[in-house]
Amino acid sequence: MKKILTLILFISGIWTIVLAQQDPMYSQYVFNGLIINPAYAGTRDVLCASVLYRDQWVNIPGAPKTGILSIDAPVKNKNVGVGLTVEFDKIGVTSHTAFNGIYSYRLRFAQSSLVFGLQAGLGFSNSNFSSVQYTDGTRNDIAFQNNFHDVLPNFGFGLYYFSNRFYAGFSIPQIAGYAIQNALYHKTESAYLDLANHYFINTGYLFDLSPDIKAKPSILLKYVRGAPVEMDLNGIVWFYDLIAAGVSYRSLASLDFILQVKASPQISIGYAYEYATTKLNTFSSGSHEIMLQYFFDFSHSKIVTPRYF
């Protein structure tokens, strides 16, 4: 039991500094770029509502459980997109909930577009240290006698360039962490939020393997202060515009198997299984993601063209 408690505290990030409001990472961002880049809002020219749930490191007590709801759409007759994300993340006794509104503006060229995106919202962080259970029945550790609750604003920025075949993006979903932290907290306090900027760069290309089969290789680079640069190598193959299957390799972390099925022109169902390539695979049977997407075209009441990115 003592080893389990230690593991929970480790993955919760419970030290003198509270490490909270760090961006969760998903596997199925390859089907919904809004998860990592606010400039993606409205670029599919349809209303898209998506719900994703991630159960990470199954069998490890206190492991992360994350959910995100995203909605985005273009503004009719304008080069504007709007969106909303609601995200919940729980790790051990620490949880975080965030609400973000999104605005994007598209510059259209002859055969491509460049989109600028902004997001703003609030994050609610809670660490229920007092709920930690002691095996000997005592409560002598002062670090777990007080709970931590706080609310902080969040701002993000993104760029997204795309054509029918190619896309590239850059985003910083949280760009004001240090400024807000320094304004509201003092390093001498026993607990505070250590907010870190997350940087994302991604690109991909769509190939025709045959009239009915398409391949979309892509890459995502991620950087956050205090961690090595991480890279995702993704390979997705579309069959008859109905089924997408692929593999993703996340450096220093995992191998992912991804599947998406179009149940109807408006509904897509996705699943991802993540196998840890680190020593975590000794304790966990892997991670699971389930995603449901709904698309609605305002002008034709159906999807006119398939959405590959």
- Asked if the structure places residue 306 within a domain, the reply is no
Q: What is the mean pLDDT of each run of 10 residues along the chain (309 residues)?
A: 43 39 79 96 94 93 92 91 95 89 96 96 83 66 72 91 96 74 54 73 96 96 88 96 96 93 94 92 90 82 63
Task: Tell me how far apart the alpha carbons of residues 243 and 269 are, in angstroms, rounded to a whole number.
Answer: 10
Sign for the pseudo-dihedral over CA of 80, 31, 51, 45: positive
Only one residue has tokens 């290309």, namely 205
- Asked if the structure places residue 309 within a domain, the reply is no
| Domain CATH code at residue 155 | 2.40.160.40
Give pLDDT, residue 51. Answer: 97
Task: Tell me how far apart the alpha carbons of residues 96 and 132 are, in angstroms, rounded to a whole number.
Answer: 18
Give pLDDT, residue 191. Answer: 52
Give pLDDT, residue 4. Answer: 43
Q: What is the pTM of this model?
A: 0.85
- Asked if the structure places residue 150 within a domain, the reply is yes
Kindly report the backbone phi and psi dihedral angles of residue 144, in degrees, each rounded to the nearest multiple of 5, phi listed first.
Answer: -115, 25
Task: Tell me how far apart the alpha carbons of residues 241 and 226 are, in angstroms, rounded to a whole number.
Answer: 41
- Asked if the structure places residue 67 within a domain, the reply is yes
- Asked if the structure places residue 305 within a domain, the reply is no
Give pLDDT, residue 135. Answer: 66
- Asked if the structure places residue 302 within a domain, the reply is no
- Asked if the structure places residue 303 within a domain, the reply is no
- Asked if the structure places residue 203 within a domain, the reply is yes
Give pLDDT, residue 177. Answer: 58
Domain count within the chain: 1
Give pLDDT, residue 21. Answer: 38
Give pLDDT, residue 123. Answer: 87
Give pLDDT, residue 77. Answer: 80
Residue of 259, 257, 263 whose CA lies nearest to 294: 263
Domain range holding 232?
2-296
